Amino acid sequence: MTRTRASFALVAASALLLLAGCSAGGATTAADETESSPIATPAASAPEATEAASGQSKADACQIVIASFSDVVSTSQSMDTSDPQATLAAFTALTEKVQGDFSRITNEEIAPVAQAAGAQLDEYAAFLEGFTADPARASEFGAQVTALQDSFTQAGTACQG
């Protein structure tokens, strides 16, 4: 399980770094842009209309994603891999928390990638449970980590864009 913890922490950390750009670059709202410009242009008004229609801004949705992935990183780094059952229990609780967090995302652009990342996290948790019961599944580990990392990267890319 040590290998699992190190690889998962690496995946989670890389996703968090990617998502950090979201908070720096994607946190500006249409209202912020309008306040810095004395004249509101139609281009500045369009994102505001989209936010009103979807009910949640992209920046707000990305903050949920960032907070959830931060939880993933901190939890994965603190897991005690010497107790596989406790590790699985902690990871299952983490997965449920992330799913709950992601269910609050209603932004039309971010919700699908967050849901895909959440589904991949579920799949990874199921894999870890199976891997613990049958270490012969170790050959599947790389593909599982790659799929999880790809889903995190897609969420980060959506938040940056």
Angle at CA of residue 138, ends 125 and 120, nearest 5°: 30
pLDDT in tens, 29-69: 333 333 332 222 233 334 443 444 448 999 999 999 999 88
Q: What is the pLDDT of residue 117?
A: 93
Instruction: Please indicate whether residue 75 or residue 19 has the higher confidence score (pLDDT).
Output: 75
Confidence at 111, pLDDT banded by 50, 70, 90 = very high
Each residue of 1-36: pLDDT tens digit?
Answer: 444 444 555 455 444 444 444 444 443 333 333 333
Q: How far apart are CA 37 and CA 73, in angstroms?
A: 38
Mean pLDDT of the chain: 73
